[in-house]
Structure 1
Amino acid sequence: MLKWLAMMRYKVEFITFASYHNVVVNHINPYFENLGLHLKELLPSHLQDYYQYELDENGVTTNTVIHYHANIHTALKYALKNNLININPADIVEGPKKIEFVGSFYNNEEINLLFNKVKGQLIELAVILASFYGLRRSEIIGLKWTAIDFINKTISIKHTVTPVYFEGHEHIVEKDRAKNKPSRRTLPLVPTFEDLLKRILEQQKLNKVICGDSYCTQYEQYIYLDKMGQRVKPGYVTQNFTSTLKKHSFRHIRFQDLRHSCAILLLANGVSKKEVQEWLGHSNYNTTANTYSHLEYKSKVSAAKTMDGVLNFLN
């Protein structure tokens, strides 16, 4: 797999390559090196044993094993194309079935209470953007002032800042485009959030004056900064959100679950899945439909009332 990995370094973006590298170097390669197999000796049963090993011994999820399988399959496909093997054993092996993700979420009362607790705190902006606009962490950190149109009252999601872990070090990857076309979206700038942004802008100007030469000017184009002008780190958002919930005795959810909360509140109030897809920037409609199919309770209630009016089985 190392030959395939070396080839992929120049074919995919750094974020994608780093993901491949971490999986191959830290998980897949060590296991098969210990077996002492030559590539042509690899059988579907060896792959099956590996997947079971990851599930039983390392306690990874089935979705993680599916991710490993995808990497192995692609690498072996490369080997087959280059006549290094006669068949691709990953074509034959039966991988685990994907488990559909069901995230936790807060209802509107919990979110409003959370808003109250984080008001004036550095984490406030992240909480609002995730729960109201449904932004991803990378989109929150990457939000720039150029994305805010105070005249036409819009906010454009097109910049991202993502941490990537590669060879034991964290790399911060900045992009002036979202990960795909649907992620690049323009949303209405509501008055309450517009007021908050204007207060943030004035505070940044004041901080720059107060701090003088100590103020960092490297990230002035970004919105989410601390008092010294440093861009807020992605890890801070995750860690501080968790500690905030614990401090105020909130029910534990992950930071990204605020994004799910946003979708659920939209759906619960009659917004269509297509509109939710566009609001969240999902790559396709199926992602939204599959993720939130279990939430169509209102339509089920309507159907139940209809059937109850038609079929009088208790009479």
Structure 2
Amino acid sequence: MVAGHLREQNGYYQMILSWKGKDGKRRGKSISTGLLIKGNKKRAEALLLKTRKEFAPENQMENADMLFSDFLVKWLKDRASTLDSNTYAEYAYEIKKTIIPYFQKHPVCLLKLTTKELEAFFHSENQQNGAATNDLLLYHEIIVAVFQYAVELQWIEENCALQVNPCADEVPILFTDFLLEWLEMMKSCVELTTYSSYSNAIKRSIVPYFRDKMLTLQELERHPKHIQDYYQFELNRGLTANTVIHRHANIRKCLQYAFQIGLIKSNPADRVERPRKKKYVATIYNDQELETLFKAVKGDPLELGVILAAFYGLRRSEAVGLKWDAIDFEKKTIRIKHVVTQVNLDGKNITIQKDRAKTKSSYRTLPLVRPFEELLRRLKQEQLLNQKVCGAAYCKKYLDYIYVNAVGELIKPNFITQHFEIVLKNHGLKKIRFHDLRHSCASLLYANGVSLKEIQEWLGHSDIGTTSNIYTHLDYNSKVSSANAILEFYPENASVQIVGQ
């Protein structure tokens, strides 16, 4: 078992491990426990003991001695199935043609590689081999992704490539060119849903606006008004303030990266006024309206989604992602642990399935009530019957899922949104968003005496602040009670009483 002790750093406990390598030299590794110092000493000590028992020095020895050129090969192999074919082919070509040959001539271990060696690589490519700006940015994009993988493996603690300016010897870079290069780098750093949001905003709105202006990063830094003008342009053509705020987030994040690697000395997006965010006030259904809606969707493919959203407060992605193994008919529980989302990327609709909800709090277990249990049993029987009727034509890909159509295909999230609007229109019902059924659920819970804390846990919000911010209107009845209590002090108004909404 390796030696080890705890160290206090930045308010958290760190585990410092120590062992003797095959070469006889003493080696060490620092691992964060993620535990705050206050009140967690025993838990940290227990985690240290467990880590010391399970720690494998031989693997660390391999990691410490691995040349960066060899790690590039490992990264290519491990990422072959996660990158799309075009991106993988481009990365593999540049790694084998340019990056690996350089670091084979200038060998350095992964754990000993610093910004100095990386800067030397970019300087060599620029001055000796005449690499263009786009090539340097591509090399940097690849190296950033490689180092990020090493961070994920916990072989290194931070991504030093983010501190390197690949174009230090180059001419000023156009903002649109840098924006697209940054977007490509983000593909390996964020979730596909997040990347899709970035891509749609940048390619459809931001780049088209700035392309003809031919502004460099340095010009934007000197004149942030160009960014402010863009926001006003979007507002004038009808975009909401909230949408423009999302555009601001994209621009600021990109320029922050340019600042981090030294292309600009400050982030110009920090010197503009972003639009004031408008708070969305949900339109909700009361209990009578929900009862009418339940009757309208009876037997419709939308029925399951409406019940899950209105009664259980599930998000659309959670409703579609519900699987049979999440239902415990004996214990009468439902576990929310899997989601299905749909994104549009470069004109293509992509369905994403993952065993991870929106936040950690989104994982939750809810009671299985009798009416919903009966509906689930009926749906199970219908699916078994459909499998027999359709035979080989029945889709076997989604047998684990509850929300499928008559031929076994998974109901698409976008179908729910679009079909919900049609159902409301056909039955003359008040127009609301499908997500507003979740708000309706919260409103009914509160009206029946359920506290905001309990509503937070039921809906799977990360903190009660989110719940209270969204459902501040639910506190109105408590204000009415306070107002009526005050009236007791005014005898002349004793017969007057304020009526709640």
Give the TM-score range, shorter chain.
Answer: over 0.9
Select which of 293, 299, 302 maps to 1:123. Answer: 302
Deviation per CA, 1:264-299, whole angstroms, max 9, x where unpaired? Answer: 111122111111111111222111111111221220
Select which of 16, 23, 27 maps to 2:205. Answer: 27
Select which of 139, 159, 162 maps to 2:338. Answer: 159
Indicate the SS of the match to 1:83. coil
1:101 aligns with 2:280: yes
Q: Contact conserved, 2:364 with 2:460, CA < 8 A, in 1?
A: yes
Aligned residue number for residue 39 of structure 1: 217
Select which of 208, 232, 236 maps to 1:52. Answer: 232
Deviation per CA, 1:157-186, whole angstroms, max 9, x where unpaired? Answer: 111111111011011000112121111111
> Which whole-Å CA distance do the structure 1 matches of 2:489 and 2:244 have between them?
48
> Which whole-Å CA distance do the structure 2 matches of 1:306 and 1:136 have between them?
38
Aligned residue number for residue 265 of structure 2: 86
> Which whole-Å CA distance do the structure 2 matches of 1:178 and 1:241 have between them?
23
Aligned residue number for residue 149 of structure 1: 328
TM-score (norm 2): 0.61
Indicate the SS of the match to 2:488. helix
> Which whole-Å CA distance do the structure 1 matches of 2:263 and 2:490 have between them?
65
Deviation per CA, 1:208-251, whole angstroms, max 9, x where unpaired? Answer: 11111111111100001111111111122112111111111111
Deviation per CA, 1:181-207, whole angstroms, max 9, x where unpaired? Answer: 111111010011011101110111111
Deviation per CA, 1:73-121, whole angstroms, max 9, x where unpaired? Answer: 1111100111111211111111111111111111100001111121122
> Which whole-Å CA distance do the structure 2 matches of 1:280 and 1:55 have between them?
33
User: Where do 4+ consecutive residues of structure 1 move more than 2 Å?
Assistant: 310-315
Look up the equivalent residue of 1:291 and give its one-letter code. Answer: I
> Which whole-Å CA distance do the structure 1 matches of 2:318 and 2:305 have between them?
10
How do 1:120-269 residues align onto structure 2 when only pairs under 5 Å count?
Answer: 120-269=299-448
Look up the equivalent residue of 2:336 and give its one-letter code. Answer: I
List gaps (5 residues or longer) in structure 1. none
Look up the equivalent residue of 1:238 and give its one-letter code. Answer: T
> Which whole-Å CA distance do the structure 2 matches of 1:283 and 1:215 have between them?
39
Aligned residue number for residue 187 of structure 2: 9
1:77 aligns with 2:259: no
**Which of 1 and 2 has higher RCO (CA within 8 Å, sep 6+)?**
1
How many Å apart are 1:305 and its aligned residue?
Answer: 1.2
1:283 aligns with 2:488: no
Look up the equivalent residue of 1:148 and give its one-letter code. Answer: I
> Which whole-Å CA distance do the structure 1 matches of 2:459 and 2:323 have between them?
18
Look up the equivalent residue of 1:3 and give its one-letter code. Answer: E
| Equivalent residues, number | 314
Look up the equivalent residue of 1:10 and give its one-letter code. Answer: S
Q: Contact conserved, 2:487 with 2:493, CA < 8 A, in 1?
A: no
> Which whole-Å CA distance do the structure 2 matches of 1:77 and 1:151 have between them?
53
List gaps (5 residues or longer) in structure 2. 1-178, 495-501
